[in-house]
Amino acid sequence: MLGLFGLLDLGSRSLTTHRQAVEVAGHNLSNVNNPAYARQRLSLATSLPILGDLGPEGTGVQGVAIVQLRSAALDFQLQRERSVLGSLQAQQDALRSAQSALGQLLDRIDTGAAAEGVGTSHSLADDLASLFDSFQSLSTSPASLVERQNVLMKASALAAQFQGVDQRLDHLRAALDSVVKDDTTQANSLLAQIAQLNAEIARAEIAGPGAANDLRDVRQSRIEDLAKLVKIDVVNGELGAVDVSISGTLMVAGLEVVESMETYVSATGQTLLRAAGTGAAMTLTGGRIQGTIEARDGVVAELRADVNSLASLLITEVNGLHQTGYSLTGSTGADFFVGSTAADIQVNSALRDNPALLQAASVSGAEGDNGVALALAQLARKSHAALGQRTFIQGYTDATFRFGHFLASVNTQLTDQEAVEKMLVRQREAVSGVSLDEEMTDLTRFQAAFQASARLVTVVDDLLNTVVNLKQ
Amino acid sequence: MRVTANTFPADLIRHLGSLAGQQTRLHTQASTGQRIALPEDDPGGVGRAVALQSEAGAMAQYQRNIEHQQQTAQATFSLVQALKKISDRAGEIATLADGLKSPEQLRAYGAEITQLIRQTVQIANTSRDGQFLLAGTRSSQAPFALTEDADGSVAAVVYNGNASTNEVEIAEGVTLTSQVVGGNTTGTGPRGLLIDARAGADFFNHLISLQDHLLAGEAAGVAATDRPQLSRDEENFVFQIALNGALQERLQVAESQARQRKADLQQNLSREVDADLAQTLVRLSQTQTAYQAALQTGGSILSLSLLDYLR
């Protein structure tokens, strides 16, 4: 039998338990917009019964634990998918920047003189076509200074476009190197934070019963942030800690960061990653850093190489023909373009200063001859082994096709991956998310229970008063 | 599925974002009239469009080349016509200068021939854009140079041009020349207009010979030598007029082919790149309706909560 004081104790325990339940609901409510937060519940259980005259007798309720509603399987899946997402997002960012660097934009409503009613593509293809057209015009009036000036202007515009594209792609490469470095710094910082949180969780969980829910939330959020940067493997260790490895290298073991990443410049000039302690190169398989490196050394580098080989071939072919020609002054053997790559292609300044020196004639002493001008114009349709038996413009469109195709495929993969990630987030939200309606209902429920418990205490107080006043 | 406080706003934001993205894409398509613009939109389509654009550009350039050739051909035609007239008058004089004419009359004819030679040189040295039409590829200097005798008659006319012409592309891989050279004594290559070994034409020397015979009063020499020589020149002019006609005809055909090809290319490009405006606008309107509905329902659901009913 509990007796009146036992009953008072029961009422008091009930008040405490329901106050705790209201506290938990309040904690949930206040974290409603915290994306890292997983809702918590106070687990209730009956207090230990005592043996009375009528057998075991209930002693009310007590809170046994504050539990977190979280699915480890969903957390694991999300962590994996975030690495794939991070890689694809980084590739898309890099490739879109490369697309801007290329400057290829179809514009059908351009009504400029060069548009010919079909618009422009604001690209190297336009400038290449313009140069070959200007050679055609020159072939009709080989001695005309106006046509010569026109050829030199178109050639200068093409050279400037080649240089512009190459420079923009070079700046992009440098920018992507910086992204790799910054992301590596951030990843190292996250590894340190995870180790720190491991320590805090261990301390908190050793000190008392129950799990350090809020610290675990923060750690899970850091793990997912890290997974977005670099693909990681997470294994549960002792004392509630987790071990983190990257590409088979253990980075965080329990409470310690045992290894960190650093960038280095490889023999081929690429900024890559290695383990700072052992110096072993790390080959990443997912995450933003890997995506950035893959795009930088893959498609973007390929595009730049394609533009470069196009420029080099143009310089060789045009110069080869031009050198054999004769200018209006009878001079011969001069180069049309100087430089050897897209980075340094330029029109020979001697020709720019004096268009009469352009060597359009194929024979000496016949300034009106157009042999070389015609051959240069016909270069537009010549197939080149270096371009896979394609013409200059076809070579360029092939390169943009390969690039565009890759970017389009990354776009599709990213859309799919975003859908996967969104579904997982929704599923996790369904398990761990805070529902205002639920919490408000709980609040009302526990408030009523608290009020009822208080009423019990009042009743017991009245009973005690009655007992105390029996003798009066 | 359990719907939490953030499920609905997150979904709403995602839907609104996706609808706004679609609206932007459709609006861009409607306002530019283009289905694709960037390589990522449709890599193959953009590649084909760039190729079609550059091909259409090449066709436009062929049209310009053809126009230039036509202008040259027309200028040459006027020139040949003028020379033909001179040739007609010279032939007439050669016929008139028979044995019945007095030496004074023959000398008067001779003086006219001198003037005709000077006129011929002037016509044959016609230039266009600073380039001499009949000089071959040595076109920056006058092709014919005249030297006089002390008595004012023409001693000689020398051809300083060459027998080369410029080929110009008028269609893919098709080149032709509209240039006519003043003289060609090599027996190969283009026919010379005034001097040609194959046709036996040497208009200046034949006129000079006629002039000399007339000035010397040798009517017999005119009949025996000059008339047959001049008739060879005449035939050569007629040949050149026919050649010019054929050339202009060919240029006209090439021009209409280039124009047709360009129109075809424009159509192909349109099929490849242009947006179906009706379809785009219908889809835009659908997307706008969905966007409005999402905003409206989202707004009304978001504003409702259990808090409104708890006191």
Query: Could you report the per-residue pLDDT of B126-158, keeping only the tens digit for each?
Result: 998 888 999 999 998 999 999 999 989 999 999
Residue A100 sits at the vertex; the CA angle it makes with A402 and A82, to the nearest 5 degrees, is 75
Cα–Cα distance, A115 to A127 (Å, whole number): 12
Give the gap in angstroms from C-alpha B163 to the nearest C-alpha of chain A.
11
Q: Which helix (H) or strand (E) holds B26?
A: helix B7-32
Q: Are A368 and B136 in contact (CB under 8 A)?
A: yes
SS3 B185: coil
Interchain proximity B46–A369, CB inside 8 Å = no
**Residue B226 pLDDT grade (very low, low, confident, very high; cuts 50, 70, 90):** very high
Interchain proximity A435–B36, CB inside 8 Å = no
Cα–Cα distance, B243 to A367 (Å, whole number): 26
Tell me the two tokens of residue B64. Answer: 């310009």
**Residue A116 pLDDT grade (very low, low, confident, very high; cuts 50, 70, 90):** low
Half-sphere exposure of B230 (CA within 13 A, CB side): 26
CA distances in angstroms from B162 to A191, A219, A319, A342, listed in the order given: 83, 89, 27, 41
Residues from chain B contacting residue A404 (CB–CB below 8 Å): 38-43, 46-47
Cα–Cα distance, A116 to A190 (Å, whole number): 57
Specify the pLDDT at position A114: 59
Nearest to A156 by CA among A359, A351, A379: A351
Q: Is A363 on the interface with B (CB under 8 A)?
A: yes
Nearest to A285 by CA among A245, A317, A314, A252: A245
Give the gap in angstroms from C-alpha A126 to the nearest C-alpha of chain B.
7
Cβ atoms < 10 Å from Cβ of A141: 24
SS3 A150: helix
Nearest to B164 by CA among B136, B188, B130: B136
Interchain proximity A140–B65, CB inside 8 Å = yes
Interchain proximity B33–A118, CB inside 8 Å = no
Cα–Cα distance, B217 to A97 (Å, whole number): 90
Interchain proximity A397–B47, CB inside 8 Å = yes
Q: A25-29, long-range: CB within 8 Å, 24+ apart, which pairs?
A: A25/A439, A25/A442, A25/A443, A25/A446, A26/A443, A28/A434, A28/A439, A29/A434, A29/A436, A29/A439, A29/A440, A29/A443
Specify the pLDDT at position A119: 76
Residues from chain B contacting residue A106 (CB–CB below 8 Å): 34, 36-38, 46, 49-50, 273
Tell me the two tokens of residue A347. Answer: 């029109």
Residues from chain B contacting residue A433 (CB–CB below 8 Å): 2, 4-7
Cα–Cα distance, A344 to A166 (Å, whole number): 9
Q: Is A92 on the interface with B (CB under 8 A)?
A: no
Cα A277 to the chain's mean position, in Å? Answer: 27
Give the gap in angstroms from C-alpha B80 to the nearest C-alpha of chain A.
21
Tell me the two tokens of residue A79. Answer: 């962590």
Interchain proximity B265–A366, CB inside 8 Å = no
What DSSP string runs through B27-74? HHHHHH-BS--STTT-HHHHHHHHHHHHHHHHHHHHHHHHHHHHHHHH
Mean pLDDT, residues A417-426: 94
Backbone phi and psi for residue A177, each to the nearest 5 degrees, phi listed first: -60, -40
Which class for A427: exposed (0-12), middle (13-18), buried (19 or more C-beta within 10 A)? middle
Nearest to A368 among B32, B138, B265 (CB): B138
Cα–Cα distance, A421 to A287 (Å, whole number): 14
Amino acid at B32: T
Mean pLDDT, residues A327-338: 95
Specify the pLDDT at position B299: 87
Q: Which of residues 27-56 of A touch B (CB under 8 A)?
A: 32-33, 35
Residues from chain B contacting residue A440 (CB–CB below 8 Å): 305-307, 310
Interchain proximity B169–A132, CB inside 8 Å = no
Interface test with A, best of B50, B66, B70, B306 (most A CBs within 10 A): B50
Interchain proximity B137–A130, CB inside 8 Å = no
More confident residue, B309 or A17: A17
Q: Is A356 on the interface with B (CB under 8 A)?
A: no
Mean pLDDT, residues A48-60: 89
The per-residue pLDDT of chain B, averaged, comes to 92
A152-161, A285-294, B293-302, range with the lowest pLDDT: B293-302
Specify the pLDDT at position A471: 77
Q: Which of residues 411-440 of A touch B (CB under 8 A)?
A: 411, 422, 425-426, 429-431, 433-437, 440
Nearest to A435 among B4, B46, B53 (CB): B4
Query: Could you report the per-residue pLDDT of B80-111, keeping only the tens digit for each?
Result: 999 999 999 999 999 998 878 888 999 999 99
Interface test with A, best of B42, B61, B138 (most A CBs within 10 A): B61
pLDDT at A120 over 90: no
Query: Could you report the per-residue pLDDT of A425-452, keeping only the tens digit for each?
Result: 999 999 999 999 899 999 999 999 999 9
pLDDT at A113 over 70: no
Q: Is A444 on the interface with B (CB under 8 A)?
A: yes
Interchain proximity B129–A141, CB inside 8 Å = yes
What DSSP string runs through A358-397? ---BSSTT-TT--HHHHHHHHGGG--BGGGTSB-HHHHHH
Q: Are B141 and B135 in contact (CB under 8 A)?
A: yes
Specify the pLDDT at position B142: 94
Tell me the two tokens of residue A231. Answer: 């693909």
With both helix axes pointing from N to C terminus, report the angle between A145-207 and A288-295 in degrees, rounded to the nearest 10. 160
Specify the pLDDT at position A112: 65
* CB–CB contacts below 8 A, A to B: 229
Give the ipTM of the model, two decimals please: 0.88
Specify the pLDDT at position A232: 97
**Bridge partners for B282 per DSSP:** none
DSSP for residue A238: G
Cα B200 to the chain's mean position, in Å? Answer: 33
Cα–Cα distance, B144 to B114 (Å, whole number): 15
Interchain proximity A430–B2, CB inside 8 Å = yes
In chain A, % helix, strand, coil (3-state, to 5) comes to 65, 10, 25
Nearest to A407 among B40, B60, B138 (CB): B40
pLDDT at A111 over 80: no
**Residue B307 pLDDT grade (very low, low, confident, very high; cuts 50, 70, 90):** confident
Give the gap in angstroms from C-alpha A118 to the nearest C-alpha of chain B.
6
Tell me the two tokens of residue B40. Answer: 């990522």
Mean pLDDT, residues A151-171: 96
Amino acid at A325: G
CA distances in angstroms from A465 to A2, A15, A299, A459, B273, listed in the order given: 17, 21, 87, 10, 93
pLDDT at A109 over 90: no
Nearest to B164 among A116, A369, A377 (CB): A369
Residues from chain B contacting residue A148 (CB–CB below 8 Å): none
Interchain proximity A142–B1, CB inside 8 Å = no
SS3 B101: coil
Cα–Cα distance, B221 to B214 (Å, whole number): 9
More confident residue, B98 or A227: A227
**Residue A341 pLDDT grade (very low, low, confident, very high; cuts 50, 70, 90):** very high
Residues from chain B contacting residue A380 (CB–CB below 8 Å): 58
SS3 B108: helix
Cα–Cα distance, A323 to A335 (Å, whole number): 6
Mean pLDDT, residues B254-283: 93
Specify the pLDDT at position B210: 95
Q: Which helix (H) or strand (E) holds A99?
A: helix A72-102
> pTM of the prediction?
0.87
Give the gap in angstroms from C-alpha B291 to the nearest C-alpha of chain A.
20
Query: Could you report the per-residue pLDDT of B166-220, keeping only the tens digit for each?
Result: 999 999 989 999 999 999 999 899 999 999 999 999 999 999 999 999 999 998 9
Cα–Cα distance, A442 to A246 (Å, whole number): 43
pLDDT at A44 over 90: yes
Interchain proximity A125–B50, CB inside 8 Å = yes
Interchain proximity B4–A374, CB inside 8 Å = no
Which class for B90: exposed (0-12), middle (13-18), buried (19 or more C-beta within 10 A)? buried
Closest residue, chain B, to A28 (C-alpha): B5
Specify the pLDDT at position B101: 85
What DSSP string runs through A165-211? HHHHHHHHHHHHHHHHHHHHHHHHHHHHHHHHHHHHHHHHHHHSSS-
Q: Which of residues 143-182 of A touch B (CB under 8 A)?
A: 143-144
Cβ atoms < 10 Å from Cβ of A116: 23
Query: Could you report the per-residue pLDDT of A398-415, keeping only the tens digit for each?
Result: 999 999 999 999 999 999
Residues from chain A contacting residue B139 (CB–CB below 8 Å): 143, 367-368
Nearest to B169 among A374, A404, A426 (CB): A374
Specify the pLDDT at position B301: 84
Please list, in sequence order, all residues whose beta carbon lies within 8 angstroms of the beta carbon of residue B186, skipping any fewer than 6 positions away.
Answer: B163, B197
CA distances in angstroms from A451 to A11, A59, A246, A446, A448, listed in the order given: 11, 18, 54, 8, 5
Cα–Cα distance, A351 to A373 (Å, whole number): 15
Interchain proximity A106–B273, CB inside 8 Å = yes
Cα–Cα distance, A202 to A198 (Å, whole number): 6
Give the gap in angstroms from C-alpha A364 to the nearest C-alpha of chain B.
10
Residues from chain B contacting residue A361 (CB–CB below 8 Å): 137
Please list, in sequence order, all residues whose beta carbon lies within 8 angstroms of the beta carbon of residue A167, skipping any fewer than 6 positions away.
Answer: A343
Specify the pLDDT at position A214: 95
Interchain proximity B38–A104, CB inside 8 Å = yes
Residue indicated by tokens 């023959």? B106
pLDDT at A277 over 80: yes
